[in-house]
Amino acid sequence: MRVHVHVFSNSRRPGIDKQPDGSLWVRVNAQAREGKANEEVIEALAGHFSVPKSHIRILHGEAYRDKLVEVIES
């Protein structure tokens, strides 16, 4: 499954909100430096979809707020 994700880094309240268009807004504590925010995004999505972190992959947008993420469901 592929999901469009918009990331809000350096957020006070981490969490995930589903949008009406099917995309997800992901809020993480980490700053967008050295891949730390991406790591937290993967962690948050793994918890949200109840899959291991190894089943989450960022396909496009690693350096941007808008990302295309692949979730491999088992």
The CATH number covering residue 22 comes to 3.30.1200.10
Rounded to an integer, what distance in angstroms lies between the CA atom of residue 29 and that of residue 27? 7
Residue range(s) defining the domain that contains residue 36: 2-71
Counting the structural domains of the chain, the total is 1
How many angstroms separate the CA atoms of 64 and 62, rounded?
6
Start-to-end CA distance of the chain, whole Å, equals 11
SS3 50: coil
Q: Please give the chain's pLDDT, 74 residues, in tens.
A: 999 999 999 999 999 999 999 999 999 999 999 999 999 999 999 999 999 999 999 999 999 999 999 999 87
The set of residues, in sequence order, having a beta carbon less than 8 Å from that of 66 and lying 6+ positions away, is 4, 5, 6, 7
pTM metric for this prediction: 0.93
